[in-house]
Structure 1
Amino acid sequence: MGIKTALPAVELGLYSLVLSGALAYAGRGLLEASQDGAKRKAFRESVRPGWEYIGRKMDVADFEWVMWFTSFRNVIVFALSGHVLFAKLCTMVAPQLRSWMYAVYGVLAVVGTMGPWYLLLLLGHCVSLYVVSLSGQPWLCLSLGLASLASFKLDPLISWQSGFVTGTFDLQEVLFHGGSGFTVLRCISFALESCAHPERRYSLADLLKYNFYLPFFFFGPIMTFDRFHAQVSQMDPVRPEGELWRIRAQAVLSMVAIVAVDIFFHFFYILTIPSDLKYAHRLPDSALAGLAYSNLVYDWVKAAVLFGVVNTVARLDHLDPPRPPKCITALYVFAETHFDRGINDWLCKYVYDHIGGEHSAVIPELGATVATFAITTLWLGPCDIVYLWSCLNCFGLNFELWIQKLAVWGPLAQIEGSPGPHWLSCLSPTVVSSW
């Protein structure tokens, strides 16, 4: 027993050692590539002054990250700090009013950022879905909700509605699409929960308190209305043991990730090098492997930082937000390939599980995945890349079920169960059905 227990630890240690060595070797190649290419003409647009005191320029190819941590860093810190301060004050003085405080502060932040006309536009969508929810017809609520979402994703309606936003600044388009898209999903969740529980009689005020919770407003994650309402309505919230320690740990991890990304942007140029294919073709294999791995992990780190910061604030407010995304290098099935667990929970609850049931029958599963990725395509914004991504993921989910069915099919199951190694052993239902 002791030997069996020790073996996984030894294997994990060897794996970590090999991986660390490979990453260090690839990092050396990337560092040399960034140094050699820093003065290339193709790099000038996306490599700007950075840490001048050590002679390093910064990769600014990801404008969103750069804006968050340069121009809008102080605004974000000020807005979230104000939220935490007023939330703590209200929790101490009048905990029964804390949900109202969240909504009022969120409304003021939205008006200050995007203007009053943008607020009125979102209120129009909220009121429309609230009125439809009074009918108690889920299909009608979902239909109107998807129509509202389409109005923010398809022209000419999106151009007409974006005209309500006054002023211009760098992240205006990002905040417009983020706030409006998440608002519609929250309104759909409210409407469907109202239809599912008519005896609870949720009010328009409940919807507004849910929608204008500032930490989730622009960038998510999505908490379904039933979870948010139950948690925010607690009169005397009590933290679980060790919760404050976990909050501090999450905050520290987010800071470490931010610093790590900043180091990568100054030393490795992981986003700029792929834009110059002629130069990339001349790189050694180790540098190309490190470049591919870094770009793969960067998207996850970016999402983890965003949701990590937001979730830290939400936990301070006694909420239990969706978990941050799982590292993409740890994924092995299509069912876990989601960066936003909140949207994943939303889709599973209202579409995927509702249509697919126990996900054990081929035809219902096909219908569930098609419907789920159709809505996902609308949410992301219809375009060729999104179509391709959705089709591949839809096929992957169904293919996993087909393989599971094939593995338990009579003749093949007998072959697998016979003595001796077989390729079908990798198709064991225990392994495949773990998703």
Structure 2
Amino acid sequence: MTFDRYHAQTTNIKLTRKEREMWNITSKALLHLGVILVVDVFFHYLYILTIPSDMKLVGKLSDWCLAGLAYSNLVYDWIKAAVMFGVINTVATLDHLDPPQPPKCITMLYVFAETHFDRGINDWLCKYVYDYIGGDHDRIFKEFLATFCTFFITTLWLGPCQLVYLWSFFNCFGLNFELWVAKLFALPPLSTIERFMGEAMSRRIRGVFNAANFWAIVLYNVLSLNSLEFAKLVARRLIFTGFPLSTLSVLAVTYCGVQLVKERERQIALLEEPEPEKPAEAKEKSE
């Protein structure tokens, strides 16, 4: 948590509990305890962390098994971060603090801008490095410098080594590529063509790019979780040797998942959107 947020919360003298807050804290604590027990049992039967280290065994797996194994490793890392930060957050709420929330579920990540497993460090980097140097993020040089400095500090924090260098390079590239492609499609004539397509067709085309982006996120982050050899094998099998059947089928399933996630996010945004105020005449009639 950044110091300004922490200071504002600790100096607040009006400490009150929201409705059903203690019930929510208790339910979260029980949920985290249940997840810890389930993961502990799974570790005795599912060897998702040790299988990638045996390249002879991994080489015999099918394309779908490799894709599932790579995805499962990211899910494990997300669960570890979600439980670790979730337990701390649950305890912190007992002291009337509002700490950063646990990381966003890996299944719902299809953009590099939201790919972080620690919201606190992400907020700190954005405030003091990325947004401070990048400004409005409209200039190419300043944006490149901002992302370079951000990932340089992240590399030092993770511990400089070959895998961390590769992880930082690919994620820095992915973030910049995603940003400038989005800005390019916001300019005419591409923006004009998208308007003529209609909302449904535009959503489908964006879903295809998001599905490919999702697997880029998986492959780039498998580097830091497993090994370079495992990441290269998964990429080679999914992109080259598995083309077209494995590649297109995996992308098709991912595309459907991305569309479901985007629809859920759209519905949540509609629910959170404030209702427009009624005119005075309409209020009088309703009364």
Q: Between the two structures, name the one with larger relative contact order (CA 8 Å, sep ≥ 6).
A: 2
Class of the TM-score when normalised by the shorter of the 2 chains: 0.5 to 0.7
Partner residue, 1:366: 144
Matches within 5 A, 1:224-239: 224-239=2-17
Partner residue, 1:301: 79
Letter in 2 for 1:352: Y
For these two proteins, the number of residue pairs brought into alignment is 209
In 2, the alpha carbon distance for the partners of 1:242 and 1:316 equals: 13
C-alpha RMSD of matched pairs (Å):
2.8
In 1, the alpha carbon distance for the partners of 2:30 and 2:147 equals: 38
Alignment CA distance shift 1:415-1:291 (3 Å)? closer
How far did 1:402 drift? 1.3
How far did 1:271 drift? 1.6
Residues 322 and 341 in structure 1, CA contact (< 8 A), matched pair in contact too: yes
2:185 paired residue among 400, 407, 419: 407
In 2, the alpha carbon distance for the partners of 1:424 and 1:411 equals: 18
How far did 1:320 drift? 0.6
In 2, the alpha carbon distance for the partners of 1:408 and 1:305 equals: 38
Partner residue, 1:329: 107
Structure 1's unaligned 5+ residue stretches are 1-222
Structure 2's unaligned 5+ residue stretches are 214-264, 266-287
In 2, the alpha carbon distance for the partners of 1:309 and 1:390 equals: 28
Alignment CA distance shift 1:425-1:258 (3 Å)? closer
Matches within 5 A, 1:65-144: none
How far did 1:427 drift? 5.7
Partner residue, 1:262: 40
1:342 paired residue among 88, 111, 120: 120
SS at match of 1:410: coil
Partner residue, 1:70: none
How far did 1:419 drift? 5.3
How far did 1:315 drift? 0.8
Partner residue, 1:382: 160
Matches within 5 A, 1:133-212: none
How far did 1:355 drift? 1.6
In 1, the alpha carbon distance for the partners of 2:6 and 2:192 equals: 49
Letter in 2 for 1:381: G
Partner residue, 1:312: 90
Matches within 5 A, 1:33-72: none
How far did 1:253 drift? 1.8
What TM-score does the superposition give when structure 2 sets the normalisation length? 0.65
How far did 1:242 drift? 2.4
Alignment CA distance shift 1:227-1:423 (3 Å)? closer
In 2, the alpha carbon distance for the partners of 1:286 and 1:367 equals: 38
Matched, 1:249 2:24: no
SS at match of 2:179: helix
Partner residue, 1:116: none
In 1, the alpha carbon distance for the partners of 2:62 and 2:190 equals: 45
1:201-251 C-alpha deviation (Å, 9 max, x unpaired): xxxxxxxxxxxxxxxxxxxxxx11111122122334212222212211221
Percent of aligned positions with the same letter in both sequences?
63
Partner residue, 1:426: 205
Residues 355 and 367 in structure 1, CA contact (< 8 A), matched pair in contact too: yes
In 2, the alpha carbon distance for the partners of 1:259 and 1:282 equals: 31
How far did 1:424 drift? 10
